[in-house]
Structure 1
Amino acid sequence: MTARDLNWRILVGLGLLATAPMTSPALAQPVAPSPEAPTGRTAKSIETTTKDMVAAANPLAAQAGREILAAGGSAVDAAIAVQLVLNLVEPQSSGIGGGAFMVFWDGKSVTTLDGRETAPAAAKPERFLGPDGKPMKFYDAVVGGRSVGVPGTVRLLETAHTRWGKLPWKQVMEPAIRLAEDGFAISPRLNGLLSQETYLQNNAVARAYFYEADGKPKAVGTILKNPALAKTLRTIADKGADAFYTGEIAEDIVATVTSHPTNPGDMTLDDLKAYKVVEREPICGTYRTYKVCGMAPPSSGGIAVQQILGILETKDMAAMKPGPEAAHWIAEAGRLAFADRGLYVADPAFVTVPVKGLIDPGYLRSRAALIDENKSMGKAKPGEPPFQKTFLWGPSEGIEFGTSHMSIVDRNGQAVSMTTTIEDGFGSRQMTKSGFLLNNELTDFSFATVEDGKPVANRVEAGKRPRSSMAPTIVLDKDDKLYAVVGSPGGSLIINYVAKALVGILDWRLDPQVAADLPNVGSRNGPTELEAGTEAEGWKAGLEAKGHEVKLIDQNSGIHAIVVTPVGFVGGADSRREGVAIGNN
């Protein structure tokens, strides 16, 4: 038995005691509740399985994935089942009306698929400017058809299934169809988010589906059926993704987008028909003895996570315990990464992103040298990475809140890390008659078109994909064997969530459940943000002594992580949400 085998046998054997979930008080409610506000923690224990594992944001979705894995399905087959069930049980976060990024491990190499939404052909840079030439208020832009991008999720799922699926397309869609027809019990989380939601009832279809006649959200435990979505999924099961991008479903999408009474969009049937999934070169770099692979632009997640890790690699993070010292370094690394993100990253079809330079080890060492261990740098400036070419530039702060993540490993060793979104909670608040909500992904573009006299890289343009922070990640060990599958929802905070989890797993040797439940800390090149209601509050004084401007905020991460060990799989699902990690033995 190798030392690594022994270490993991000890970890798994003692995990129920030594690595039980951290206890911490329920997270405080934000001053202005958002559709993704925390609903408190649910204590979860370490999960171990021997054959396969799926970690997803809702127990019913995870069970659908496990069912498909038990039937001999691949990780991609399970991902399809999970995504379609999430559309039902977690509609505020993802669904076929949105988009996704998939990072896939086939046992030998990593492939990434970009199913991000695109701007309609009629979109122009001034899309989110008011009559006075100033950026619109966020929700004035979000609610309605103006914010809806051409959805990519269905085409992504079909593309992945064609390449890596094992079970028939119809079979992997069956769990969601069955659940849509039979119904599911509304969870406390969904009920709570509906209670906080302001705009959804203005859409007649959504109001009839989610709310009672008196305007109150349907109660916890109410059986919610969606025959319209069941019909839509059966059509896609029978005819493939083309049935979504053409025909009655496509016509329904366009009608929903263009008929909003005050904020219509301009999507056309040609926009839907023209949508394509893009295979992109993965963003891969080393961290300690590991190889970490993520998503390329238009996601900023892969680059930013690599940058944070590359900067932290100059420090002995393993010697630090979670606390103010580690938080200082993580926050400072985050400042530097977000400074570069704001300037350089956008859709590579429109902007030449200096990816190679941004993750160059020498460049990251030079960025790390800017950090003073005794003093915060405040607001970081973008660097000058090598291998640059001429590009458009300018900062912007698109974020997504209506997001979910799944991590899956099948019994053949293939793996999926997929982050999926409709952007804000409940997206554009527009529900089609076909039974699903539409995204508001176009508000992930910069509302401003020019910054400091320069065109903004992430401005709206026809056919363009908005920048994202999603960071689905796959980690390989020194022998290029699968080691971990990690990701999270959470808007631009995703980058810090994933980096924290990776430090917890790779440096501090924590099991995935404890790593997910660690207090969230970081900086998006503004204040240092500590998670309210956790032990991180006790680090505030130490950080302020180093010159940090500290804010205590709710940070509703949703880390789903799986670690591969010599004796099976160890999984974790963030206690801040209702997800689980389960599998087959």
Structure 2
Amino acid sequence: MRSVIFPRRWLACVFSSYVLGLPLLASAETSFQYETPAIAPESASGYTEKPGWASERFAVAAANPLATDAGYQVLKAGGSAVDAAIAVQMVLTLVEPQSSGIGGGAFLMHYDGSDVTAYDGRETAPRAASESLFLNGEGDPLEFMEAAASGLSVGVPGTVRMLEMVHEKHGKLSWAELLAPAISLAEEGFEVSPRLHTSLAGEERLRDDPLGSSFYYTEDGEPLPAGHRLKNPALAAILKEIAEHGSKALHTGQIAEDLVHRVQNHPGRPGAISLEDMATYVAKERDPLCTDWQAYRVCGFPPPSSGHLTIMQILGLLEHLPALDEPLDEDRLGIEWLHRFLEASRLAFADRGKYIADPDFVNAPGGEWSSMLDEEYLAERAELIGEHSMGPDGAEAGVPGEVETAWAIQPMQPEYGTSHISIIDEEGNAVAMTTTIEAAFGSRILADGGTGLAGGYLLNNELTDFSFRPLDTDGSPIANRVEPGKRPRSSMSPTLVFDRESDELIASLGSPGGAAIIHYTAKALVAMFDWGLDAQEALNLPHAITLGGPAFLEEGRFPEEVLDALNELGHEVSERELVSGLQAIQRTDEGLFGGADPRREGVVMGE
């Protein structure tokens, strides 16, 4: 398996579907006339069968029907894949506030028919942040939620500035037009979805925030019910400023001052973001990591994301094991394949925990990140996968470079959240974008931009993706420790897949799910391109994950004998709700086919 950076050409192929709409005027000054769709929220949260969607010219897949429809309307009006991604993200800020938004960060993979580029809108630590950010007075790490639901956890947001950068290069419609759908929905209101209601019902810390409590809960402290029409005048006013003035409206002036004030004056644990931090944030254009795997070339995000490297380590380790006759057991994953997948995950996560962090602060092992995907190295590591599990904490990091680094292993800690968007436009341009505010509802701080109006947007808790401990017990530094201006390590894995022989784009995919994003995306790649399942069938498969410790199987999706068999192999398996949010668009002989995760509210639209 070889990792390279490369250009390529595209064969146009795209999508069809449906539009649901009732007319509502956008701005009279725009050529793009947004229509508010008559889309009701799904009738139930949880697992809902999805049909998969086939089409020919273009397509968009996103986590909420209103967001998908906004992207669809942009594509139908002649907008680019980037244009559609901007419209989708702004609507997600409104309708899926628990997962992503203008107060967070994102990674965007873009294909322009020739070149693949990675755009980094990851949040950064404030200049005043120190290694001891998440340590208490005794030098011990804070409890996760104690750190997350506070001003300490808020990183300088980067999503809007990154999207503005990409739009300047690849946008076709005007910036202001692309914010019209979210502004219209914020002013006119949208129906609270069952998923948002369920998230609010299970959330405690958002109730401690005065703005968040009054906006998302009733006077009796009950979460807004599904179907409630919710308007967000504060967000509408903020988005109008961003529509007129671009990202500087968020990063300077009243909106930035409001964000800084809320962070620095958090009543529990204030943070250190300054107006200078906000004004000087820089989105980055990075070279993607593109790795040969079987007949395909898989392009993903480089560090500070750990996604591509860890996914391709897992796939590379599996490739060095003898082929299985039957990896699937009917519509389930077979025991032998599960065993191998979990063991490969243990080894890959051991390397992830030691080596991967912001490349502006940490050198790659051996001087190149591709050293972690070297064929000889993976073949040597694959020999560690035997008939019995290494067990929790049994996998150790390898030495992919010529010289062993001094980095310590980062202890395991929670990772949450995110949303994923996949888009292919009529000209064959493609986007895979994973976007986040980290945990559900981020730092649990709602900011109204200083408008004094109801609502607003949520601030991220992205700094909790850093290691809480800066050093191990021997005093060796942890690569992903907090440092001023540093970007925390991420698991986000926006992925574009190409045919190695023809260089044709054949898929865009990704998922939310914290560190489990890596497992979800890796399994989808295997299912689609090794086992020949279509995108929807691949996304329907049950999940299995391990971060190196115990293993977890998706609750209710495996018979008891599978859990028993894996426990006998030493995996220490239990069941857990594993709520991915995979979106995928793939090329087929007939055109394109899109899948949306049955565990969330997403749909695919196109024509």
After TM superposition, the score normalised by the length of structure 1 is: 0.91
Structure 2 partner of 1:376: 389
> Which deviations, in whole Å up to 9, do the C-alpha atoms of 1:265-317 show, x marking residues without a partner?
11100000110011122121111100011111111011101101111122436
User: Are the aligned partners of 1:317 and 1:507 in contact in 2 as well (CA < 8 Å)?
Assistant: no
Structure 1 partner of 2:567: 544
User: Are the aligned partners of 1:282 and 1:295 in contact in 2 as well (CA < 8 Å)?
Assistant: yes
SS, match of residue 486 in structure 1: strand
Structure 2 partner of 1:565: 588
Q: Cα distance, 1:43 vs. partner?
A: 1.2
The residue type paired with residue 372 of structure 2 is L
Q: Cα distance, 1:224 vs. partner?
A: 0.5
The residue type paired with residue 176 of structure 1 is A
Indicate how the Cα distance of structure 1 residues 49 and 563 shifts in structure 2: closer, same or farther if over 3 A, else same: same
SS, match of residue 428 in structure 1: coil
Q: Cα distance, 1:455 vs. partner?
A: 0.7
2:409 aligned with 1:402 = no
The residue type paired with residue 320 of structure 1 is P
2:75 aligned with 1:88 = no
2:451 aligned with 1:440 = no
The counterpart of 1:266, out of the listed 261, 266, 272, is 272
Structure 1 partner of 2:452: none
Question: Quick one: distance in 1 between partners of 2:257 and 2:546?
Answer: 43
Structure 1 partner of 2:600: 577
2:479 aligned with 1:464 = no
User: Are the aligned partners of 2:513 and 2:580 in contact in 1 as well (CA < 8 Å)?
Assistant: yes
Q: Cα distance, 1:140 vs. partner?
A: 1.1
> Which deviations, in whole Å up to 9, do the C-alpha atoms of 1:193-232 show, x marking residues without a partner?
1111101111111112111111111111111011111111
User: Are the aligned partners of 2:257 and 2:275 in contact in 1 as well (CA < 8 Å)?
Assistant: yes
The counterpart of 2:196, out of the listed 190, 208, 230, is 190
Q: Which runs of 5+ in 1 are unaligned?
A: 1-7, 13-37
Q: Could you say what the CA RMSD is over the residues aligned between the two structures, in angstroms?
A: 1.7
SS, match of residue 132 in structure 2: helix
Question: Quick one: distance in 2 between partners of 1:466 and 1:90?
Answer: 23
SS, match of residue 417 in structure 1: strand
Indicate how the Cα distance of structure 1 residues 537 and 501 shifts in structure 2: closer, same or farther if over 3 A, else same: farther
User: Are the aligned partners of 2:124 and 2:487 in contact in 1 as well (CA < 8 Å)?
Assistant: yes
2:443 aligned with 1:428 = yes
User: Are the aligned partners of 2:126 and 2:272 in contact in 1 as well (CA < 8 Å)?
Assistant: yes
1:159-308 equivalences in 2 (<5 Å) = 159-308=165-314
Indicate how the Cα distance of structure 1 residues 229 and 270 shifts in structure 2: closer, same or farther if over 3 A, else same: same
SS, match of residue 167 in structure 2: helix
User: Are the aligned partners of 2:289 and 2:302 in contact in 1 as well (CA < 8 Å)?
Assistant: yes
The residue type paired with residue 348 of structure 2 is A
2:381 aligned with 1:364 = no
2:327 aligned with 1:320 = yes
SS, match of residue 466 in structure 1: coil
User: Are the aligned partners of 1:327 and 1:522 in contact in 2 as well (CA < 8 Å)?
Assistant: no
The residue type paired with residue 268 of structure 1 is S
SS, match of residue 535 in structure 1: coil
Indicate how the Cα distance of structure 1 residues 152 and 538 shifts in structure 2: closer, same or farther if over 3 A, else same: farther
Question: Quick one: distance in 1 between partners of 2:48 and 2:266?
Answer: 39
1:97-108 equivalences in 2 (<5 Å) = 97-108=103-114
2:66 aligned with 1:44 = no
2:554 aligned with 1:531 = yes
User: Are the aligned partners of 2:406 and 2:476 in contact in 1 as well (CA < 8 Å)?
Assistant: no
> Which deviations, in whole Å up to 9, do the C-alpha atoms of 1:539-559 show, x marking residues without a partner?
212222323221211111111
Structure 1 partner of 2:358: 347
Question: Quick one: distance in 2 between partners of 1:125 and 1:536?
Answer: 45
> Which deviations, in whole Å up to 9, do the C-alpha atoms of 1:143-202 show, x marking residues without a partner?
121110000000011011011111111111111111111110001111111111101111
The residue type paired with residue 508 of structure 1 is W
The residue type paired with residue 403 of structure 1 is T
SS, match of residue 455 in structure 1: coil
Q: Cα distance, 1:46 vs. partner?
A: 1.7
Q: Cα distance, 1:406 vs. partner?
A: 0.7
User: Are the aligned partners of 2:57 and 2:426 in contact in 1 as well (CA < 8 Å)?
Assistant: yes
The residue type paired with residue 525 of structure 1 is G
Question: Quick one: distance in 2 between partners of 1:218 and 1:552?
Answer: 30
2:348 aligned with 1:333 = no
2:122 aligned with 1:122 = no
Structure 2 partner of 1:74: 80
Structure 1 partner of 2:7: none
The counterpart of 1:516, out of the listed 539, 544, 555, is 539
Q: Cα distance, 1:39 vs. partner?
A: 4.1
Q: Cα distance, 1:388 vs. partner?
A: 5.0
SS, match of residue 113 in structure 2: coil
1:450-489 equivalences in 2 (<5 Å) = 450-451=471-472, 452-478=474-500, 479-489=502-512
Question: Quick one: distance in 2 between partners of 1:528 and 1:139?
Answer: 23
Q: Percent identity?
A: 52
Q: Which moved more, 1:434-443 or 1:312-321?
A: 312-321
User: Are the aligned partners of 2:326 and 2:334 in contact in 1 as well (CA < 8 Å)?
Assistant: no
Structure 1 partner of 2:20: none
Question: Quick one: distance in 1 between partners of 2:403 and 2:577?
Answer: 37
2:140 aligned with 1:134 = yes
> Which deviations, in whole Å up to 9, do the C-alpha atoms of 1:43-90 show, x marking residues without a partner?
110211111111110010000010001011111101001111000110
Question: Quick one: distance in 1 between partners of 2:89 and 2:415?
Answer: 18
Q: Which runs of 5+ in 2 are unaligned?
A: 1-12, 17-43, 450-455
Task: Report which of the two has the higher share of helix.
Answer: 1
The residue type paired with residue 352 of structure 2 is R
The residue type paired with residue 433 of structure 2 is M
Structure 1 partner of 2:66: 60
The residue type paired with residue 301 of structure 1 is G
The residue type paired with residue 572 of structure 1 is G
The residue type paired with residue 364 of structure 1 is L
Question: Quick one: distance in 1 between partners of 2:115 and 2:46?
Answer: 38
SS, match of residue 450 in structure 1: coil
Q: Cα distance, 1:389 vs. partner?
A: 7.5
After TM superposition, the score normalised by the length of structure 2 is: 0.88
SS, match of residue 358 in structure 2: coil
